[in-house]
Structure 1
Amino acid sequence: MKIPMDNKLIQKKKLRSGFTTGSCAAAAAGASTHMLLAGNILHEVALLTPKGVTLHLKIEEISKTKDSVRCAVRKDSGDDPDVTNGILVYATVRRIQGSQIIIDGGIGVGRVTLPGLSQKVGEAAINKVPKQMISKEVMSACENMGYDGGLEIIIDIPEGLEIAKRTFNKRLGIEGGISILGTTGIVEPMSESALIDSIELEIKVKKANGQEVLILTPGNYGVDYLNERLHIDIDKAVKCSNYIGEALDTAVEVGYKKILMVGHIGKFVKLAAGIMNTHSKQADARMEIFLANTALEGANLETLQKVEKAVTTDEMISILKQSGHLEGVIKRIMRRIQYYIRSRVDSDSKVGIIVFSLAHGLIGQTEEIADLLIEVENYK
């Protein structure tokens, strides 16, 4: 008999962790080095990750020549939704003259084209920790075999060429493939932190490449408004999703003094209550914010009751238009949004905020918008 499961129980089940492309590359590199130097075949290797978790990884696609060995490890992202899940990460290890250990990227591993990343321009997009992991596994195999000669390690991800088209890599200055990532070697499911990391990285890259005004928008509605109404190149903007607080913190960290924020009223109204993560699971308060500010504008009980029953912000705006309170309520909300944003950034920063609605167009904006838009226009 099949017992139906409650949705809450399904949501609370323990999710399976996976392992990073960095772990795959390190395991494949270590296995290829061992097979090259020892002459035998490995079908599985143990890898101690920086997190302290030992992985037992299957070795696939083994091929050998006199001076080189190539093999692969298949990426497993666990229960985390990841475009790299199931791909093969290859490592080719070959003997070279001298005693150097050279690690580089091949097919499907991106190249850095802009400053601001941990790798220099022209280098393979293999992040610091994965590179250390690769080096550690190769050196360990060399020590075990008593080898002190030179080796070249090339990491390939053939599917990386196509996968890169579905990532933000090009905007980050990584072209020709994907990055070899991972700081712990383990992929934690529901990687909110990974999304925040990518937002922070994009902000840092834009600053490193001389963009003086940081343009933040939560999502596609804001991107469309920037493009269609303000005629701003969307590649200049950073989509910060619901993580407005984290984006502002990064802006302060890298030294941004000019910030332009464009967002839909449904998300940005939450900022008027100091809610800096605008995801509905964190907080809603849209109606409560409108209701409180409508009351402060002296609206009668009938109007307040209509606002309280409204489901969407567009509906609330329509009610306030009819009652004649919209202008006053929006001014109050914009002042509170500006107050909380300014509390999050440096006191001498210039911050401009635009709030819009798909149904009603421009809803409100702060005083500094005009100056910031002129500056953005200057570097289009």
Structure 2
Amino acid sequence: MNNTKPRAGYTLPVFATAAAQAALQHLQNPNQPIPSVKINLIQPNELAEIPIEQVASLSENSALAITRSDPGDNLDLTRNTPIWAKIEIEPNTPPELIIKGGEGIGRQLNLNNQPAIYSYAKNLLQENLKPQQKTTLTIILPEGRFLATRTSNSAFGVIEGLSLLGTTGISQPHSAPGQLDIFSEELQKKACQFDSIVLCIGENGLDLAQKTGIPPERLVKTANWLGPMLAMAGTCKVKSILLFGYHGKLIKLAGGIFHTHHHLADGRIEIITAHAAKVGMPSEHLQIIFQQQSAEDILNYLQNLQPAGQNWLNLIYQSLAETIDTRSQQYIHDLTEANVQVGTILFNRKREIFVKSKNAATLLPHFC
């Protein structure tokens, strides 16, 4: 095993909060240098000291501060990207914090174009700023619009920028060497407490699973190493596993692809088309599906398809979910000889669950 533990960093909400804190402190004491600020991460319950790159007054009642993202030993595209925070205060007004998304902060299409600033980021800002008067904060990611073109944000209805998403202030090194060892260790610890666990690839699944009612102590993050994590679960004598993920990732398992990073393997279009043929979809629709550019495009096509008598979306994705269960169970058994029940829950870009396998429907109430 790799004994070198990758260095963790912090998530984007932490750096946005640090920049905002620095700008506010500068307004309160403009002659005091601010090389760094301390942020209460809330989750986990600890302080983080974040370097501040620049801070300056814009007017008597407004200031701008800049810091840079440091995600630790992680292949994160936000590494070293600048985060700006502009603070404007209105003297002699009741305490209030207004949070705005500036350039580079994505917009949520399914939430009336609200800025993609999620609950953890908002809680972090409220906890650390604690304004004494009406305060307007605008968070700006100058490189956010460009960086967003290299993410799957649009698949989740977030456009024109990045999200301030996360459930914790710590950025775990998901794609760094040694990550699998750390994830495996977490799984082993939880397998000692519970005989049923939930595997989530990333933050969207982790966040939605908790909102569904699954307690966080049952959740294990896998990043793209689903195959090794399934095998580890079998080795740890786990009795049942719930796979909770975005359909565009998890459907790869239906094709026997157990490492879901797109650089290693894809095949999603082919997998969905094969299952559409399996359930009897007419050839003219199969040809259209096969010509789509992404799994999300196929899902949209199926959602808009209303032929009489058949719900093709449900038929196809139910077939996919059941196959994910079967192939995952067989994968675990082939590697560990363990018999583990696997259930699959798939959600769409709106973070809405739209398919549960039969096993998942049985298992889910036990987690919630």
Into which bin does the TM-score normalised by the smaller protein fall?
0.5 to 0.7
Aligned length: 243
Give runs of aligned pairs for residues 1-380 of structure 1, distance below 5 A: 8=1, 11-39=2-30, 40-50=32-42, 51-66=44-59, 67-96=61-90, 98-99=93-94, 100-114=96-110, 120-139=111-130, 142=131, 148-190=132-174, 195-199=201-205, 217-218=251-252, 220-226=266-272, 230=286, 231-232=288-289, 233=292, 234-236=295-297, 260=317, 271-272=326-327, 274-275=329-330, 283=332, 285=334, 342-345=358-361
1:41 Cα deviation from its structure 2 partner: 3.0
CA apart distance, 1:101: 1.8
Q: Deviations over 1:147-178 (max 9, x none)?
A: x3321100011111111111111111111100
Give the CA deviation at 1:346: 5.3
In structure 2, what residue type is equivalent to 1:153? L
Query: 4+ residue runs of structure 1 moved beyond 6 angstroms?
Result: 191-194, 200-204
For 1:168 and 1:202, locate their aligned partners in 2 and report how far apart those are by CA, in whole Å. 17
Q: Which moved more, 1:27-36 or 1:40-49?
A: 40-49
CA distance in structure 2 between the aligned counterparts of 1:272 and 1:74, rounded to whole angstroms: 43
Residue 223 of structure 1: CA displacement? Answer: 2.4
Give the % identical residues.
23
Q: Is the contact made by 1:83 and 1:163 (CA closer than 8 Å) also made in structure 2?
A: yes
| Partner SS, residue 24 of structure 1 | helix
| Contact 1:217–1:237 (CA under 8 A) maintained in structure 2 | no
How far off is 1:13 after superposition? Answer: 1.4
TM-align CA RMSD = 3.9
Whole-angstrom distance in 2 between the partners of 1:38 and 1:23: 22
Change (3 A) 1:160 1:224: farther
Residue by residue over 1:225-258, the C-alpha shift from the partner in whole angstroms, topping out at 9 and shown as x without a partner, is 43698333531568xxxxxxxxxxxxxxxxx976
Q: Structure 1 residues 262 and 134 mapped into 2: Cα distance closer, same or farther (>3 Å)?
A: same
Q: 1:178, 1:57 → 2: CA distance?
A: 21
The 2-side partners of 1:194 and 1:24 are apart by 25
* CA distance in structure 1 between the partners assigned to 2:33 and 2:200 by the alignment: 36
**AA aligned opposite 2:33:** I
Query: How far is 1:136 from its partner?
Result: 1.9
What is the CA–CA distance in structure 1 between the aligned matches of 2:15 and 2:149, rounded to whole Å?
21
Alpha-carbon distance in 1 for matches of 2:271, 2:329: 24
Q: 1:258 to 1:136 in 2, by over 3 A?
A: farther
CA distance in 1, matches of 2:29, 2:200: 38
Equivalent in the alignment of 2:349: none
Q: Secondary structure at the match of 1:135?
A: helix
Gaps of at least 5 residues in structure 2 are: 176-182, 184-198, 211-246, 253-259, 261-265, 278-285, 300-312, 338-355, 364-368
Give 1:259 shift.
6.0
Residues in 1 aligned to 2:58 and 2:4: alpha-carbon distance in whole angstroms: 47
Q: Any stretches of 5+ residues in structure 1 without a counterpart?
A: 1-7, 115-119, 143-147, 205-213, 239-255, 289-339, 348-380
Shift in alpha-carbon separation, 1:65–1:344, aligned structure 2, 3 A: closer
User: C-alpha separation between the residues in 1 aligned to 2:360 and 2:34?
Assistant: 54
Counterparts of 1:35 and 1:194 in 2: how far apart (Å)? 41
Indicate conservation of the 8 Å contact 1:105/1:124, yes or no: yes
State the TM-score, normalizing by the size of structure 1.
Answer: 0.55
Name the residue aligned to 1:209: none
Which amino acid is the alignment partner of residue 222 of structure 1? R
Change (3 A) 1:121 1:200: farther
Report the CA distance shift for 1:195/1:96 in structure 2 as closer, same or farther (over 3 A).
farther
Describe the shift of the 1:175–1:202 C-alpha distance in structure 2 as closer, same or farther (beyond 3 A): farther
Q: TM-score, normalised by structure 2?
A: 0.56
